[in-house]
Amino acid sequence: MAMGRMDGGPASAVVVGAGVVGLSTAWFLQERGVEVTVLDRRGVAAGASWGNAGWLSPGLSIPLPEPSVLRYGLRSLVSPSAPLYVPMSPDIGLWSFLARFATHCTMGAWKRGMRGYLPVNSECLDAFDTLTRNGVESPTHEAPITAAFAKREQAKDLRHELSLIAEAGQDVRFTELTGDEARAAVPQIAGGVQTAIRLEGQRYVDPGAFVASLAASVRERGGVIEEDFEVARLRPDGGGAAAEAADGRRVTADAVVLATGTWLPGLARPLGVRTQVRAGRGYSFTVPTDAPVPGPVYLPAVRVACTPYQGKLRVAGTMEFRRAEAPLDPKRIDAVVRSARPLLSGVDWDQRSDEWVGSRPVSTNGLPLIGATKARGVYVAGGHGMWGLTLGPVTGRLLAEQITTGKQPEQLRPFSPTR
């Protein structure tokens, strides 16, 4: 039976989900004296935490729905080669989600959402530093993100977006480069690139290695991580809750945190969480390069993100609204290669490895779901879309504060799961 501490806070917690969000929450709960058990349906970093681009990019961490996304999405709606792909299917739930998403693609909604992102963006890198100073051995790397464009006029959209982000209050520092200046800084930028925008003050990590190191730190501090434990239901248990698997296995604690990414709605909906979350699937792979890659490269016109990765280049792209469990579609990998090839040089596209697809949890309004549900002692942390890695540690730190004090931090008010 679960028993709280004398100060009223929980003595124990179960975190469902061993990605960066769940493990960060577990780590920061440990900082506050809570015993943690982490459960995952597969294993550490088995979902979107492993194969993403690895950017820690508060300068680009913004609500996904906005007018240009809607216009772009309508143009590319059913093209298998487009960076945004929605297969034609009779999935009523998907079309309901997309209709709600479209209602938030207004500048007014984007500005309101951006006000919510600002406080967590400002703290996100500090949360990473707290982890790496205190037992998480995988480092973060400081480097600008260089956005490359084949034509000068293509840069105007990113320039406009960065100006809107700056007007909203985000710290955004960027420099415009000629094609030659960009190639001098990043040798992988192709000769046909005419201009680039360099976004300063960003970082990157090896995402799989970072999350594995975070898991190791949780274990070293006394936490338990159980893999191949798919939670089928939550039940009240005294003053806490029990997480139960379909095979009858059961773990009880004073508090439960659902951090299951795309699979969040199944367990969260009965707890009063009504905001829809769907799988926005992203693809990635790794390729060798002729020269070392000095930092992340962004190809905005084709929606491709590239990052130094284990002596090679990780290439990530696409937003595919398909069921999370669907197999990797090789045509999506081919589409990324075709779109990125003209903009990058010294890359051996035929020696691809680590081909991967993962499901980013996208909410209808582009805001995460972080905080208490209507069930006593049960919390959720998810719906971060493309920014789960960037915002994972700060999410964990703020949610651990709420769980242990009973008070919602001001930074989490826009992200209430029962909004």
| Closest-CA residue to 8 (of 252, 221, 257, 255) | 255
Cα 296 from Cα 145, distance rounded (Å): 5
Sorted by where each begins, the domain ranges of the chain are 12-415
Average per-residue pLDDT in the chain?
93
**Do the beta carbons of residue 66 and residue 105 sit within 8 Å?**
yes
Cα 84 from Cα 78, distance rounded (Å): 9
Choice between 90 and 269, residue whose per-residue pLDDT is larger: 269
pLDDT in tens, 282-313: 999 999 999 999 999 999 999 999 999 999 99
**Do the beta carbons of residue 317 and residue 297 sit within 8 Å?**
no
Cα 142 from Cα 387, distance rounded (Å): 17
**Do the beta carbons of residue 322 and residue 281 sit within 8 Å?**
yes
pLDDT in tens, 58-83: 999 999 988 776 665 555 555 666 77
The whole-number pLDDT of residue 364 equals 94
pTM reported for the whole predicted model: 0.95
Pair type for strands 304-309 and 378-382: unpaired
**Do the beta carbons of residue 113 and residue 121 sit within 8 Å?**
no
pLDDT in tens, 257-271: 999 999 999 999 999
Q: Out of 3.30.420.40, 3.30.300.30, 3.40.640.10, 3.50.50.60, select the CATH number for domain 12-415.
A: 3.50.50.60
DSSP state of 2: B
- End-to-end Cα separation, the chain, in angstroms: 31
Output the CA angle 408-414-419, nearest 5 degrees.
90
Residue 108 confidence (pLDDT) above 90: yes
Percent of the chain with pLDDT over 70: 95
Percent of the chain with pLDDT over 90: 85
Q: The tokens 């709606």 sit on which residue?
A: 77
